[in-house]
Structure 1
Amino acid sequence: MDTPSRRKSGLNLHAGMNETSLRLETSAAPASALSSSFCSISISSSRMVSSLTSPSSSKSSICSDRFIPCRSSSRLHLFGLMDKESPAKEVGNEVYSRILRSELFGPDFWSFSPAGQGSPMSPNRNLLRFKTEHSAPSSPYSPSLLGQDSGFSSEASTPPKPPRKVPKTPHKVLDAPSLQDDFYLNLVDWSSQNTREGSYISIGTSLGKVQVWDGTQCKRVRTMAGHQTRTGVLAWNSRTLSSGSRDRNILQHDLRVSSDYVSKLVGHKSEVCGLKWSRDNRELVYGGNDNQLLVWNQHSQQPVLKLTEHTAAVKAISWSPHQSNLLASGGGTADRCIRFWNTTNGHQLNHIDTGSQVCNLSWRKNVNELVSTHGYSQNQIMVWKYPSMAKVATLTSHSLRVLYLAMSPDGQTIMTGAGDETLRFRNVFPSVKTQTPVKDTGLMSLGRTYIK
């Protein structure tokens, strides 16, 4: 049965209840004392009450019938979310758990503690200080959170690469009687087909002659004149053969014509001791005892570049197989430097003092490494990594300066010659696929073969 008081309030109350029993004593605390995390709850409750009351009862104290649970009674320990004291070694897991809880319950989960500071909900001061001092990333797994404070490294530690093993002793030694100890001569070579390209071998004589032999039949094919004195250096360019002499001239010989030479290049003021064609056969570079390095092309009658930074004779010359315009050269006793050049503009890219006379140079084909041979006080073979010029290995076994150097066609073996009248073979650059453990063997166990 409806009473007047029930109709006035607009509420459908039980017979044993009245409006007075539903009144809520409000707190006098200012609104600013409430946290922003509860703002949404307050607004939502006011709207619900206003929809249930009439305008005539707006002055009375009103409360909601919605139940707001207290988190202090939650059994968070069942989910492993309680703060536990962990040893120092587990600090990373503890921080990770705190970050995970913050992501699940929101950042305000750390700011309120219904049960007081000693409760499981109390903030972790160290973590709050960490959040204040370091800006929080977008992801809880960011390296900035899993780095310094957690004990985890943000970068995977990689073990240092072990140095490449290079055999210290040669695997073969050949006797070479009367192999001269003369810096200006070039007395060994290795063909692209393990004999000589096209089976031809060229030989320069002390009388200024150039001889061409058939290497398979051991038969002399041709003799060409033109130099006035000894011919100390030779370089092939397909069917064209270039020769340098103590008479300071370079002659170009063409085996397809009957004349002794087809052209002459003049530029040095002293003996020509270094000579190399570029790998594309477009440029010819030669060094001399006048400390100069000259670069010619196929169409010029004068050198297109004159490189004069060396302070001693330039015999060691090698073109890079990895960059067409990169040239390496080495100077004699007064210079001792390996210098690198850009032959497009003539700029010196780098140089390094080796501490000894540079006798010969050769690039490795598959990897950017350089081999140099040295004399006077060292008598060594050095392997360098380009462009850092970090030394890979230093090899010794010759008793005199290492004047001569040649590399096998596959780029794995180097052969060196010296004034000690021996030729020594080393497998310095083994193939990656067929690489086998390097074994050092004593020279006494190596067989010696005479060159006939």
Structure 2
Amino acid sequence: MSMENPATTSGSTPSTPTSTSDSRLSALRPHPSSSPAATHTVYGDRFIPCRARSNLALFDLDTPPSSSPYCTLLSAALFGPATPDRVTSSATACSSSSSSAASPVGTPGSGNIFRFKDEVPRRAKRALFADRDEEDSPFTTRGVRPRKIPRSPYKMLDAPEMQDDFYRNLLDWSSHDVLAVGLGNRVYLWNASRDKIWDVSRCKRTRTMEGHSMRVGALAWNSSFCSSGSRDKSILHHDIRAQEDYVSKLTAHKFEVCGLKWSYDDRQLASGGNDKRLFVWNSHSVQPVQKYTEHRAAVKAIAWSPHQHGLLASGGGTKDGCIRFWNTTTSAHLSCIDTGSQVCNLVWSKNVNELVSTHGDSQDQVFVWRYPTMSKVGTLTGHTNRVLHLALSPDGQNIATCGGDETLRIWNVFPPSKSHVRI
């Protein structure tokens, strides 16, 4: 059978029919020619590489990890430091891939004809990226450190003739940053910004208001008038703009009134007494709207929350030692924590949702609590006698404490308000 050379004859057809593969092979086979210029190569429609010398078994080899420092650093940067869990999961993935590749199509081992290896188990994925996820997650709190509270006061003053009387409140801090303390039969003023002390007896007295028949141990101001609590079991509202000594009188306690505090919106007044009672009054009521009797000792420590309407905290005396929280809107008792000692005073921070409690008897310490978990943020020590009096600075950052050891200490406890933080 004769066939013309397709490389030398253009457009000619073979004399006898041949297969397509034979024509391609003859086109690729070199053919002698008398003239090199008349010869050109004709390729097929696709290129199929020859794999005769390829060793396909190399794809299934389990090569050991490279000992090159570069490969080690690159692997650590991409996948984190090597751990036994990752090595195990990698080996498991390789073995499962080999088994699936060796199994024929359609067998149960193949699973899916388009799946070339098994999926990595979820546990292996978590182990592979566990370290990186925990460090890079925006919700992790590992790097957040608790606020550090100084354990020593930044200012300490002598307070001679300070009466060691649980039922009196002899310390207050005004909105003009003036601290007042009662010592003996005098009241002293300390200007925190100028660091000066005055004797209030040398100042001019504006007015004297009467009405109580026994000593006055508690005072509370609101925007309209001043309320006073006395050993005569009564509470009087004094309006300095009116000519009368008092405009209203509240009588519900059966023993001395030792705690008074107005809410921040001036709508409710909380009063505590030596009768173990805690009462809540409206601004214009003559009878208490709520009565709480859970305390087992005198209620002197009272504090309203500036962050939540109607949230009230109260502390009991020696036989009680508990701090209780109340919802005055629903009259509900929310929670109670036993401090183990006499609760002398309470104050709620205006900048953060935390409160301070001062204690007597066995502890003589000052505690800072985080609400509502009531976890201790810090403990202030230094007083050698019970800490009877407590006041908060107008900026909400500092507190002043005074006790039976005749010392007045000023502490920096709370962070500044968010509205005053410089950006």
Which gives a bigger RCO, structure 1 or 2 (Cα 8 Å, sep 6+)? Answer: 1
Q: Deviations over 1:68-101 (max 9, x none)?
A: 668897899xxx99974326975948999x99xx
2:144 aligns with one of 155, 158, 161: 161
Partner of 1:355: 340
Partner of 1:57: none
C-alpha contact (below 8 Å) 1:146/1:154 kept by paired residues: no
Distance 1:71 1:264 in 2: 107
1:180 aligns with one of 145, 163, 166: 163
Distance 1:128 1:150 in 2: 21
User: SS where residue 323 of structure 2 aligns?
Assistant: strand
Distance 1:149 1:271, change over 3 A: same
2:172 aligns with one of 167, 176, 189: 189
Partner of 1:29: none
Q: Which stretches in structure 2 are left out of the alignment for 5+ residues?
A: 1-11, 23-44, 104-115, 186-198
Q: Which stretches in structure 1 are left out of the alignment for 5+ residues?
A: 1-11, 23-64, 115-126, 135-143, 207-213, 436-452
1:222 matches 2:201: no
Partner of 1:394: 379
Distance 2:159 2:310 in 1: 36
1:250 matches 2:229: no
C-alpha contact (below 8 Å) 2:324/2:335 kept by paired residues: yes
C-alpha contact (below 8 Å) 1:373/1:403 kept by paired residues: yes
Distance 1:387 1:21, change over 3 A: closer
Partner of 2:298: 313
Q: How many residues align?
A: 342
Distance 2:350 2:51 in 1: 72
2:221 aligns with one of 236, 247, 253: 236
Partner of 1:27: none
Partner of 1:282: 267
Letter in structure 2 aligned against 1:155 = E
Letter in structure 2 aligned against 1:342 = N
Letter in structure 1 aligned against 2:337 = I
Distance 1:81 1:185, change over 3 A: farther
Q: Deviations over 1:163-189 (max 9, x none)?
A: 322222222222222111111100010
Partner of 2:280: 295
Deviation at 1:385, TM superposition (A): 1.1
Q: Out of 163-172 and 369-378, give the one that drifted further.
A: 163-172
Distance 1:279 1:150, change over 3 A: closer
Partner of 2:64: 85
C-alpha contact (below 8 Å) 1:195/1:215 kept by paired residues: no
Deviation at 1:431, TM superposition (A): 3.7
Distance 2:247 2:166 in 1: 29
Distance 1:83 1:412, change over 3 A: same
Letter in structure 1 aligned against 2:317 = G
TM-score by length of 2: 0.69
Distance 1:298 1:149 in 2: 64
TM-score by length of 1: 0.65
Letter in structure 1 aligned against 2:314 = S
Distance 1:16 1:314, change over 3 A: same
2:351 aligns with one of 366, 369, 378: 366
C-alpha contact (below 8 Å) 2:101/2:117 kept by paired residues: no
Letter in structure 1 aligned against 2:178 = T
Distance 1:430 1:298, change over 3 A: closer
Partner of 1:409: 394
C-alpha contact (below 8 Å) 2:230/2:257 kept by paired residues: yes
Deviation at 1:20, TM superposition (A): 11
Distance 1:373 1:222 in 2: 33
C-alpha contact (below 8 Å) 1:287/1:294 kept by paired residues: yes
Distance 1:75 1:268, change over 3 A: farther
Distance 1:276 1:21 in 2: 104
Letter in structure 1 aligned against 2:258 = C
Distance 1:171 1:153, change over 3 A: closer
Distance 1:314 1:18, change over 3 A: same
Partner of 1:263: 248
Structural RMSD (CA): 4.3
Partner of 2:7: none
Identity %: 55
- The correspondence of residues 105-144 of structure 1 with structure 2, limited to 5 A, is 111-112=100-101, 131=120, 134=122
1:330 matches 2:315: yes
Partner of 1:272: 257
Letter in structure 2 aligned against 1:188 = L
Partner of 1:438: none
Deviation at 1:109, TM superposition (A): 11
Q: Deviations over 1:104-132 (max 9, x none)?
A: xxx99995479xxxxxxxxxxxx95654x
Distance 1:247 1:151, change over 3 A: closer
Partner of 1:35: none
Distance 1:81 1:303 in 2: 86
Partner of 1:61: none
